[in-house]
Chains A and B, each alone.
Chain A
């Protein structure tokens, strides 16, 4: 279980967010909402261990993730809002690398990309020639093979068309049903059952 324990995040002297406490149990989809600049990405960075909160703790199964980061990293699949992969690589090359360093099966890359609707030339062209939506799908294709229990996705729905948006949200629901935890930031409402946390009110 992922827990926020009175997290406070600051930018300089200004308090950006908090104190925020929440429990994100296994089997849940959590939707972090809030207007631009409220600190969604900063909170995401805090909960994947990229930025230590200025007060409070983030805990995974009871362990502070900054004291024992390995236990979080073993179960984490994090896709940043600006994750594209190196523009000179092809989709297959970029995903193979990501899968290899995150401890997944690199050979599954092509099938994962097909599952996310990338076929033919879009697999073998440099990423810079793909559209924004296609690049997003390359970054998200990790989810097709991920064995991670905790999915943390920053603005995953950006640039996706309506069809792939729905398919992606169904994937979140399936992952939660299988006992996983999903944390998503998005400006759009999710078409599935999700626990909403409004950061503007926190």
Chain B
């Protein structure tokens, strides 16, 4: 069994037994999406206009909420000490962990996002683009989250700090991700910003595991 097999098996076992780790971010996403129209006139055309931004912001918040589970338990139960002293390259384990987290929560958010978008009155094409940008974008969001989580692993109030570090860093993904949907909604081609979202995500996912590995070694102890 390779390292990826071992990490993925463990992540699925944990997700299956601690379903709240998936359900809480998803519920939070749903609530953010549902609560915005209550503050505005629900029939307002403005809602459709800002729908891409609202859904994307809800995705970002749900991802931030989910990051706590990346390292919190591992640091507490000694798993992190095993990983840090193992002969296996740490970045390789972290990449596997990122992949598992993305497939787990990222895919669920990508399914929920276009449904929310459709409820806001987005066209079918725009909802489709929303699906693509969320599935591509969540990889980048989680990659940045991996580094922030690694940096704050030894801190007591790490969760709040992670949110403060991350939200500014999430701006480019948010701009291109929501921008692609808004462009398609107004009848322009959305391919450019979609590619940009995917490219940024790939860049972050490539750089994040080695950076997070360094950060973990520094912040441990």
Contact = CB atoms under 8 A, between A and B. Distances in A.
Given A49-B85, A51-B221, 20 more contacts: A50-B81, A50-B85, A50-B220, A50-B221, A73-B86, A73-B87, A78-B81, A82-B77, A82-B78, A89-B10, A89-B14, A93-B9, A93-B10, A96-B1, A101-B3, A102-B86, A102-B87, A103-B86, A106-B1, A106-B6
Contacts, number: 88
Interface residues of A, number: 30
A83 B77 contact: yes
A126 interface: yes
A70 B17 contact: no
Given A45-B221, A88-B14, A96-B6, A78 B85 contact: yes
Interface string B162-190: 00000000000000000000000000000
A76 B85 contact: yes
B85 A48 contact: yes
B17 A126 contact: yes
Nearest to A99: B6
A100 B1 contact: yes
B82 A98 contact: yes
A45 B85 CA distance: 10
Interface of B: 1-3, 5-7, 9-10, 13-14, 17-18, 73-74, 76-79, 81-88, 93, 220-221
A88 B13 CA distance: 9
A106 B79 CA distance: 16
Given A74-B87, A88-B18, A93-B13, A101 B93 contact: yes
A87 B82 contact: no
B89 to A, nearest CB: 9
A127 B128 CA distance: 43
Interface of A: 45, 48-51, 70, 73-74, 76, 78, 80, 82-89, 93, 96-98, 100-103, 106, 126, 139
Given A49-B85, A73-B85, A100-B6, A89 B221 contact: no
A48 B81 CA distance: 10
A80 B79 CA distance: 10
Given A88-B18, A93-B13, A103 B87 contact: yes
Contacts of B82: 78, 83, 98, 101-102
29 contacts: A45-B221, A48-B85, A49-B84, A49-B85, A50-B81, A50-B84, A50-B85, A50-B220, A50-B221, A70-B87, A80-B81, A86-B74, A86-B79, A87-B77, A88-B13, A88-B18, A89-B13, A93-B10, A93-B13, A96-B9, A97-B7, A97-B10, A100-B2, A101-B3, A102-B82, A102-B86, A103-B86, A106-B1, A126-B17
Contacts of B74: 86
- Of the candidates A49, A89, A101, the one having the most CB atoms from chain B within 10 angstroms of its own CB is A101
Contact of B78 (A48, A85, A88, A96): A85
- Of the candidates A45, A97, A102, the one having the most CB atoms from chain B within 10 angstroms of its own CB is A97
Contacts of B87: 70, 73-74, 76, 102-103
B12 to A, nearest CB: 11
B77 A86 contact: yes
Contacts of A89: 10, 13-14, 17
A98 B10 CA distance: 10
